[in-house]
Structure 1
Amino acid sequence: MSEQSLDPHAFRRALGNFATGITVVTAQNTQGERIGLTVNSFNSVSLDPPLILWSLDKRSADSLDVIRDAGHFAINVLAADQLDLSNQFARPQKDKFAGVEFSTGAGGSPLLDQCAASFQCALHQEVDAGDHWILLGRVLAFDDFGRAPLLYHQGAYSLVIPHPRVAQRPESTPEDEALQGRLANNLLYLMLQAVNAYQSAYLPKQQSLGLSVSESRLLILLSSRPGADTNALALDSALPGSEIREALDNLKSAGLVCDVGPGFSLTEQGRKRAREYWALSEQEQSQVFADFSSEQIAQFKEILNRVIKNA
């Protein structure tokens, strides 16, 4: 298609084939006026000096004025469970920061809580580019929180899941095959391999919802055992105490868990998130055991329960 005949809607859809992350760009000027914009045009430019860029619609002149006055802005890379936050900053409203937890970064730029990463930037350069301004920022500081990111593809929110080919096994040798033959009769080895195979597909999907493995495990446990204390959670989760305490602190900070006497319970938001994890778990279980009859599954459960009871 030639440049003269470009259909803007078709062009936008073609661009949508490039999956992006989602950020909220924030800034605060010297008068204390804050702006927050949902942006998916963020990209890296240079390591030395450390530069990033994003583009701003020229119809957002007021936002550009705030950024120019501040001389700084922050890039908040949203985590997979921050879809509502993306929508909040994408919609025009009087106070986009209402109910939003944040701290203050370089130049007064708001740093949103619970993100996947954040970059504190000084305004480095403005480039006039068609109906947008391209803004380059020099990174002054950054934080990497290691959370699964929220993605955007073809006009819809998406989640990241590792490609299955990255986990392919190397070709086996005759010695490997001989070892596999001996191990094939070892029940403990087979159970561990089954768990590993199950988790290799399931855990990336679970983590794509935004919580770590330990956080999601405690969330699911507390949905079934409200009021459980750390000892009960340690027994059921098979997690070390230090990891349980850290996960509980993170869940409480996110507003998903609250203290109830000596134990812990889910908040309303926590119960909502737990239902998402239960739905994913049941969906994965249905897929993995789709080729087995209900009788085989019942027998499998009976065997597992007997092993647990007799261990």
Structure 2
Amino acid sequence: MNTEARFDPREFRATLGTFTTGVTIITARGADGLPVGVTANSFNSVSLDPPMVLWSLARNARSLEAFQQSGHFAVHILSAGQEDLSNRFAKSGADKFTGVACSEGAGGAPLLDDCSARLQCRTSFVYEGGDHLIFVGEVVAFDRSGLPPLVFQAGRYAVATRKAASLSSGSLDAGWSEDHLPYLLGRAYFQVYFRIREHVRADGLSDDEYFILSTLAVRDGRTQAEIEAGLSHAGCDCGFQVLAGLRQRGLLRCEDGTGDLRWFLSDEGRRRTLHLIAAAKAIESEVLAGLGEWDAVALKNLLKQLVLSTDPGLPDLWSPPPAATTGAEA
């Protein structure tokens, strides 16, 4: 452990970064009437009675004088979807408010929209704190939206999630347990898709047929090879007989342009597929509502990271279509 009086500033910053914080934007209106705003994670509570909070600003900040003269400031606790807004207000010198929707709060401080929470404050004290000034304010008004907050940890943005309760007790002698990732992913997939499958079966489709139709709903005009590649992660049977069967039932049509048949949803196929996708989205909304908005955002973020970190090079279902010519309908 480093106990020396003088130490590496970068290492000190990295050490402080292990403390997870929220992300705020502090705004005010200067004596010249112009709005100012900065991104800060130095925000903290001070007192409940009276209600007081604090934050700090570097002495060399361009907006320091405006905050000192204003007498009021507004604290915006950013929501998980406001990473771009955080980056905008973290930059120095730019016109940060151009195109940003806001209203006017106490003391003329701009109030930004879609935050997790906002606190309007009257400046009570300003203290020296090394290379920063510490602003302490009394909260005169506040509101919160319930949106999950944006989080900052070790120099990166993150999202907050609650620790899950245990599914069961104990583990097998072989070392397997409820924390085994493939088990968790597989069970979660089964439990969510099981409800979707009821709609798929009611529409007279197999899982493979539903996946094929859904893939073509994302981008029409794929060849059999492209459909197989796009669904390789699902282990689907995308053979010609399955595609021809869907065509025979009036759900697909195909065109022969460059020697490879390209498959398209028919009008009826598109109608039925969109109906099933709507049902799937409704089930997804119910599942995520059960988690709560904070954990829903965290779950999707972690799954995206897992997909990216383990991707063996699977094709992207949402990639733009290749240039192709079409011929007569088959």
TM-score, scaled to structure 1:
0.56
Task: Write the letter of the residue equivalent to 1:45.
Answer: V
Distance in 2, Cα, partners of 1:22 & 1:196? 33
- What is the CA distance between 1:168 and its match in structure 2? 2.6
Quick one: distance in 2 between partners of 1:32 and 1:160?
37
Cα deviation per residue 1:211-260 (whole Å; 9 max; x = unaligned)? Answer: xxxxxxxxxxxx969xx9xxx79755448xxx9xxxxxxxxxxxxxxxxx
Quick one: distance in 2 between partners of 1:81 and 1:69? 32
Cα distance 1:238–1:7, how it changes in 2: closer, same or farther (>3 A)?
Answer: closer
Instruction: Name the SS for the 2:10 alignment partner.
Output: helix
SS of the residue corresponding to residue 134 of structure 1 reads: strand
User: How far does residue 193 in structure 1 lie from its aligned partner after superposition?
Assistant: 11
- 2:136 is aligned to 136
Letter in 2 for 1:79: S
How far off its partner does 1:101 sit?
Answer: 1.1
- The answer for the alignment partner of 2:111 in structure 1 is 111
Q: Shift of the alpha carbon at 1:90?
A: 0.7
In 2, distance between residues paired with 1:147 and 1:192? 24
Q: How does 1:59-78 map to 2 (within 5 A)?
A: 59-60=60-61, 62-78=62-78
**In the superposition, relative to structure 1, how do residues 224 and 113 fare at CA in structure 2: closer, same or farther (>3 Å)?**
farther
The Cα of 1:159 is off from its aligned counterpart by 1.6
Q: Which residue of 1 aligns with 2:304?
A: 280
Partner of residue 168, structure 1: 166
Query: In terms of mean alpha carbon deviation, does 29-38 or 137-146 score higher?
Result: 29-38
Cα distance in 2 between the residues matched to 1:111 and 1:79: 14
Structure-to-structure mapping, 1:38-187, within 5 angstroms: 38-60=39-61, 62-163=62-163, 166-168=164-166
Gaps of 5+ in 1: 172-190, 199-222, 244-275, 288-311
| Residue 79 (structure 1) shift | 1.1
* CA-to-aligned-CA distance 1:96-128 (integer Å, 9 cap, x gap): 111111111111111111111111111011111
Q: Aligned-pair distance for 1:36?
A: 0.7
After superposition, the C-alpha distances for 1:279-302 in whole angstroms (9 at most, x for unaligned) are 739949x99xxxxxxxxxxxxxxx
With over 3 angstroms needed to count, the CA separation of the structure-2 counterparts of 1:236 and 1:48, relative to structure 1, is same
When the two chains are superposed, the root-mean-square deviation of aligned CA atoms in Å is 4.1
State the Cα distance separating 1:192 from its structure 2 match.
Answer: 11
Mapped to 1, the partners of 2:70 and 2:167 lie a distance apart of: 52
Q: Which residue of 2 aligns with 1:28?
A: 29
Q: Percent identity?
A: 42
List 4+ stretches of structure 1 deviating above 6 A.
none
* Counterparts of 2:5 and 2:193, CA distance in 1: 53
Which amino acid letter does the alignment assign opposite residue 191 of structure 2? V
CA offsets 1:177-204 (integer angstroms, 9 cap, x no match): xxxxxxxxxxxxxx99963799xxxxxx
The residue type paired with residue 12 of structure 2 is F
Q: Which amino acid aligns with 1:11?
A: F
Cα offset, 1:58, TM superposition: 0.8
**Matched residue, 1:249:** none
Alpha carbons of 1:170 and 1:142: their partners in 2 closer, same or farther (altered >3 Å)? farther
The 3 A distance-change label for structure 1 pair 36 and 281 is closer
Give the equivalent residue in structure 1 for 2:177.
Answer: none
Aligned pair count reads 209
Q: Which protein has the larger Cα radius of gyration, Structure 1 or Structure 2?
A: 2
- Taking a change above 3 Å as real, the CA distance of residues 107 and 9 of structure 1, as seen in their structure-2 partners, is same
Distance in 2 between residues matched to 1:30 and 1:38, nearest whole Å: 20
| Distance in 2 (alpha carbons) for counterparts of 1:113 and 1:65 | 25
Are 2:219 and 1:195 aligned? no
1:210-249 to structure 2, matched below 5 A, reads: 237-238=281-282
Q: CA deviation at 1:70?
A: 1.9
Q: TM-score, normalised by structure 2?
A: 0.53
Consecutive unaligned residues of structure 2, counting only runs of 5 or more, are: 170-186, 195-216, 220-270, 287-299, 312-330
1:292 maps to none
SS in 2 for 1:114: coil
Describe the shift of the 1:192–1:161 C-alpha distance in structure 2 as closer, same or farther (beyond 3 A): closer
